[in-house]
A and B are shown apart, each in its own frame.
Chain A
Amino acid sequence: MKKYWITLTYIVFIVLIIIPLLKIGSGAFSEGFSGWKDALIRPEAIHALMVTGLVVVVVTCINTLFGVMMAIYLVRSHWLSNKIKGFLNSIVDLPYAVSPVIGGLMIVLLLGPESIMGGFFENIGFRVVYAFPGMVIATLFVTFPLMVREVMPVLQEIGAQQEEAASTLGAYGWTTFWKVTWPSIQWAVLYGVVLTVARSLGEFGAVLVVSGNIMNKTQTATTLVYQDVENFNVIAANSVALVLAAISIGLLLMMEWTKRRKGVS
């Protein structure tokens, strides 16, 4: 009996992960290396990859900064009552529960050209929805819990005493953070960064709704793959997908490495 279960598990694994990955690879190179290259040097492909790259960089920076701060405030602050902390703590997980498409829709409803806030920004010449800022906000919404959830348990585990010790030795907040807190949380933060990069790289639903998927403007790598499939341009879709898959595998290896370091220190 056990033998069959093992076989079945392997079959599921191969069908779900290995075969699609191989299919993407073979699809991308079905017309040889030049087919793959031609698909990638299309102006809209280069633009989409750049937009994705830019979104990843901006989102990762913002999410790292505010995620770490949020984690510190949730764990360390004395000025927040426990009730408020508990409430905020559960709110952080909201993006896990809400479908990204709904998240995107909320942003459109709140900041779209027809909304009050969106109209205000439009008037001062700052477009949010169907533009880059909206895509960043949508991706931030989706990735926000990742950093907080990585850093919080580490902060809880190390406790406040080392920081208190530093303060009795004359160190103020900034010095204490860099000299005492940071060395303890750095690997958790790096792990959070890798997760954020991976998640924002592959984000599709929220971005699709918010960006409007305008070619050479707001199209990202994932939405380009979607459009190529719609247009029966299979080779192009596979080529871009392969690039994304390759980056993801790279991130996965990095994740394993940081996870080990996180355990060590």
Chain B
Amino acid sequence: MHIEVRNLNKHFGDFHAVKDVSFEIEKGHLIGLLGPSGGGKTSILRMLAGLEGLDSGEIRFHGKLVNALPPQERGIGFVFQNYALFKHMTVFDNIAFGLKVKKIPHAKVKSRVMELVELTGLKGFEKRYPHQLSGGQRQRVAFARALAPEPQLLLLDEPFAAIDAKIRQELRTWLRDLIERVGITSIFVTHDQDEAIEVADEIMIINQGRVEQKGTPWDIYKEPKTPFVATFIGESTLIDHISELKGFEEVKNDSGTRALIRPEYIEVGHEHEFILASATEAGIIRHLHFRGSEWLVEVEVAGHKLITYRSLEKETLSIGQEVRVLVHRAYLFNEERSWIMENRLKDVPIPIMI
């Protein structure tokens, strides 16, 4: 289902929860609404479902205005954070609910439920009650129930929040595959960036009721459009006076420009490890943390503490050691705009080197 949202607004009392939100979603895409808690993600999802009224704006499914349609007629499936399974019904009856309501013949209901039970790997659990299932199984039942009436749009509110970290990983992949197989347009809400990056085709970053940026995970990571997105996605260190770092001297301090530097923008090591040694500057290792698959290095450069990673394959550094540091690029922003700046020395070939 093609979805179009225009200038959506929602107030809860004095609180402006959703501010002028507009976006479009193409058929068959899996979209992640990502942002901090209380940012308005769930409100947007509930308005799409028709569970929450909207103050102003338009929601169109397939070009048709659905503002006034109740949830029953929107052709959507909704998976709630705590699953909201009907606790007095068996797994079979839960999944069959949406079909029975539509007065579908009994034999057809049965075959469709069995098909979904098969698809979600719940075979043998049809006669169980929700309280007899594990968190992951309940989650699967909730999916199956939402998918049973063949909705055109699947909405998921924090689908993995209530599940153990270990099973969560497994369920993510499972959900991705399932949605791909069914080919249904889906939107899910999450506050976990790893989850959004891993599962979604496209991410919408929502903060304080606004869409900060919409794009593929890679685009958002590579080119954050706002400082909020830059800090929210990935890790970063905030630097007030970037001009003190080598290669960024041109940046004027007076305009209030600040910089974000991601760990992967920084290289740290012995002088002989760099090809462009002239672009590097001296730093001192302050801390080393073993992160299982790599070292997290805290290095001090010109009074700034920078964070980066170092491969285990390379020579191990030690605390207090003097090293060379190369900052490849920085994400700069001030009140008016934000932009990405490459290290000047890295790109310009310097005659002395030749």
Q: A residues bordering B, Cβ < 8 Å?
A: 159, 161-162, 164-172, 175, 179-180, 183-184, 265
Using A162-B86, A183-B88, A184-B88 as known contacts, say yes or no to A170 and B101 having CB atoms under 8 A apart: yes
User: Does B211 belong to the interface (CB within 8 Å)?
Assistant: no
Which residues from chain A contact B98 at a C-beta distance below 8 Å? 169-171
A129 to B309, CA, bound (A): 87
- Tell me if A165 and B70 are in contact (CB < 8 A): no
B84 within 8 A of A: yes
Count of B interface residues, CB-CB < 8 Å = 25
CA distance A171 to B148 in the complex (A): 14
Interface membership of B262, Cβ < 8 A:
no
Known: A168-B50, A179-B86. 14 other contacts (CB 8 A): A164-B51, A164-B84, A165-B78, A165-B80, A166-B86, A166-B97, A167-B71, A168-B77, A168-B146, A169-B148, A171-B72, A171-B97, A175-B101, A184-B88
Inter-subunit contact B86/A170 (CB<8 Å):
no
Q: Does B87 contact A (CB under 8 A)?
A: yes
Q: Are B97 and A168 in contact (CB under 8 A)?
A: no
Chain B residues close to A by CB (< 8 Å): 49-51, 70-72, 74, 76-78, 80, 82, 84-88, 97-98, 101-102, 145-146, 148-149
- Closest partner residue, chain A, to B145 (CB atom): A169
User: Could you write out 18 A-B pairs with CB less than 8 Å apart?
Assistant: A161-B80, A162-B84, A164-B78, A165-B84, A165-B85, A165-B86, A165-B145, A166-B97, A168-B49, A168-B51, A169-B77, A169-B97, A169-B146, A170-B98, A171-B101, A179-B97, A180-B86, A184-B88
Known: A170-B102, A265-B88. A161 touches B71 (CB 8 A): no
Compute how far the CA of A175 lies from the CA of B98 in the bound complex, rounded to whole angstroms.
Answer: 11
Residue pairs across A and B with CB atoms within 8 Å: the count is 62
User: Which B-chain residue is minimally distant from A166 (CB atoms)?
Assistant: B97
Scoring A159, A164, A180, A265 by chain B CB atoms within 10 A of each residue's CB, the highest score goes to A164
Residues of A within 8 A of B76 (CB): 168
Q: Which residues of B sit under 8 angstroms from A170, Cβ to Cβ? A: 72, 98, 101-102, 149
A164-B51, A164-B78 given as contacts; is B149 within 8 A of A169 (CB)? Answer: yes
- Complex CA distance for A159 and B83, rounded to whole angstroms: 12
Most buried by B among A165, A166, A175: A165
Q: CB within 8 A of B70: which of A162, A167, A175, A265?
A: A167
Bound Cα distance A167, B97 (Å): 11
B-side interface mostly: loop
Q: Is the CB of B80 within 8 A of A164?
A: yes
Q: How far is the CB of A3 from chain B (nearest CB, A)?
A: 45
CA distance A159 to B80 in the complex (A): 12
Expressed in whole angstroms, the Cα–Cα distance for A169 and B146 within the complex equals 7
Taken together as a complex, chains A and B put the C-alpha atoms of A183 and B86 apart, in Å, by: 10
Shortest Cβ distance from residue B101 to the other chain A in the assembled complex, whole angstroms: 5
Tell me the nearest residue of chain B to A162, going by C-beta.
B84
B-chain residues with CB within 8 Å of residue A171 when the two chains form the complex? 72, 97-98, 101
Contacting residues, chain B, for A161 (C-beta < 8 A): 80, 82, 84
CA distance A167 to B74 in the complex (A): 10
**What is the CA–CA distance of A175 and B145 in the complex, to the nearest angstrom?**
17
What is the distance, in angstroms, from B146's C-beta to the closest C-beta of chain A? 8
Interchain CA distance A175-B85 in the complex, whole Å: 16
Instruction: List 10 A-B pairs, minimum CB-CB distance, nearest first.
Output: A169-B98, A161-B84, A168-B78, A183-B88, A165-B84, A167-B71, A171-B101, A170-B101, A168-B71, A162-B84
From B77, B86, B87, residue with most partner A Cβ within 10 Å? B86
| CB nearest to A82 among chain B residues | B13
Q: How far is the CA of A170 from the CA of B70 in the complex (A)?
A: 9
Q: Which residues of B contact A162 (CB under 8 A)?
A: 84-87
A184 and B87 contact, CB distance less than 8 A: yes
CB distance from B271 to the nearest CB of A (A): 61
Select the residue from B98, B102, B148 with max chain A CB neighbours within 10 A.
B98
Which chain A positions have C-beta within 8 A of B145? 165, 169
List, in ascending order, chain A residues with CB within 8 A of B88's CB: 183-184, 265
